[in-house]
């Protein structure tokens, strides 16, 4: 049964951003990084509940954000997956400093959607994460995260709170790779997923098959942790599995969705900050209401979510690369999600 949890979420980083912070820097440096981030926190008309659910005898935790003024009946549901080292609470605006994924709280308030931030389990490295398909990733927990996502969706659907045809997933880093696993394996299938700073596993342990799911890929060409072009994921001095890269992941989903690779529509996004060395380009394949694939490429971008509001400072960029300030990642995902429905 779902119940408000009195347990604290596992400790971690800011909840969304990638693999390397705590593993490669002392706590004094982390404190300095915290001082370099800006994070406005407007009052929102949403209710956030810490909940638990049993998955094969394991109590799993998630944070459910519900808009106060939502009409009765099934609503769109967005599952949010934090990155390695992260927490669900921080991904939705909790903790000392929220991640850019916490913009989903604003979207829930404005658009009257449900947002469930799922909490990963501790892996062999004693940090939180997801069983994301990378057979060669030493730090991944061996949890049944597909069943976890399915149980949360099923509970909300059975309670007539979530629309089974409008289930969406967004993940960052390790959570991004996991979101692409859910696109292949979760039942009911999500209508669309968004993966930030993460692409598909190169050496996959997954048994999923291609199916028609709309996919948004957001990646920086200078990502020092999860290589944009594919290759070995690097955790400080440690190697942790491999990914196939953004272009190969795009091609996989173009084929699965039956889309013409030549029929691409390219848009260069307006550049907002002169000091921002990155630039964002959107390439969209397919037309709504059918399946679509979108690639948002951040030229010169690092292992971090693009954001208009949640800007990281110089110290953070020294660790994971430059953050683009031309687009709010969660808003880009919602624009991609909102018209899409699963069969």
With both helix axes pointing from N to C terminus, report the angle between 174-185 and 145-158 in degrees, rounded to the nearest 10: 60
Q: Exposed, middle or buried: residue 119 (CB in 10 Å: 0-12, 13-18, 19+)?
A: buried
Residues 152, 257, 136, 205, Cα dihedral to 10°: 70
CATH number at residue 62: 3.40.50.1820
Q: What is the mean pLDDT of the chain?
A: 87
Q: Let me know if residue 201 belongs to a domain.
A: yes
Whether 279 is in a domain gets the answer yes
Summarised one tens digit per residue, pLDDT across range 230-288 is 999 997 778 889 999 999 999 999 999 999 999 999 999 999 989 999 999 999 999 98
Report pLDDT digits (tens) over 95-133.
666 789 999 999 999 999 999 999 999 999 899 999 998
> 184-209 burial, b if ≥16 CB within 10 A, otherwise e?
bbbeebbbbbbbbbbbbbbebebeee
195: containing domain: 3-337
Task: Please check whether residue 129 lies inside any domain of the structure.
Answer: yes
Judge whether 59 lies within some domain. yes
CA 272/CA 57 separation, integer angstroms: 49
Total domain count, the chain: 1
Question: Where are the extended beta strands (E) located within 82-119?
Answer: 114-118
Residue 65 maps to a domain: yes
Domain assignment present for residue 249? The answer is yes
State the pLDDT at residue 113: 96
pLDDT of residue 139: 85
Identify whether 343 is part of a domain.
no
- 3-state DSSP assignment of residue 317: helix
Per-residue pLDDT tens for 151-199? 999 999 999 999 999 999 999 999 999 999 999 999 999 999 999 999 9
């Amino acid at each position: 049964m779902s119940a408000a949890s009195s347990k604290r979420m596992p400790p971690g980083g800011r909840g969304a951003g990638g693999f390397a912070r705590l593993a490669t820097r002392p706590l004094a440096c982390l404190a300095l990084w915290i001082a370099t981030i800006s994070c406005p926190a407007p009052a929102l008309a949403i209710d956030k509940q810490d909940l638990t659910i049993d998955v094969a005898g394991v109590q799993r935790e998630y944070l459910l954000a519900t808009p106060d003024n939502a009409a009765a009946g099934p609503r769109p549901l967005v599952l949010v997956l934090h990155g390695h080292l992260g927490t669900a609470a921080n991904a939705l605006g909790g903790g000392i400093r929220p991640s850019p994924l916490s913009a989903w709280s604003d979207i829930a308030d404005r658009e009257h959607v449900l947002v469930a931030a799922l909490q990963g389990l501790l892996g062999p490295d004693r940090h939180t994460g997801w069983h994301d398909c990378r057979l060669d990733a030493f730090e991944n927990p061996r949890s049944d995260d597909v069943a976890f996502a399915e149980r949360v969706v099923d509970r909300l659907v059975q309670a007539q709170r979530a629309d089974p045809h409008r289930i969406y997933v967004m993940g960052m880093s390790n959570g991004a790779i996991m979101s692409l696993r859910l696109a292949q394996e979760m039942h009911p299938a999500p209508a669309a997923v968004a993966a930030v700073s993460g692409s598909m596993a190169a050496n996959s342990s997954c048994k999923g098959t291609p199916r028609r799911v709309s996919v948004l890929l957001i990646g920086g060409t200078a990502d020092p942790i999860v290589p944009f072009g594919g290759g070995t994921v690097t955790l400080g001095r440690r190697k942790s599995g491999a990914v196939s890269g953004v272009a190969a992941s795009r091609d996989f989903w173009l084929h699965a969705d039956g889309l013409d690779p030549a029929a691409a529509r390219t848009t260069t996004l307006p550049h907002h900050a002169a000091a921002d060395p990155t630039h964002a380009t959107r390439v969209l394949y397919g037309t709504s209401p059918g399946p679509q694939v979108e690639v948002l490429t951040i030229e010169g971008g690092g292992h971090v979510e693009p954001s208009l509001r949640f800007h990281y400072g110089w110290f953070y960029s020294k660790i994971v690369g430059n953050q683009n300030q031309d687009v709010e990642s969660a808003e880009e995902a919602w624009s991609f999600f909102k018209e899409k429905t699963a069969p």
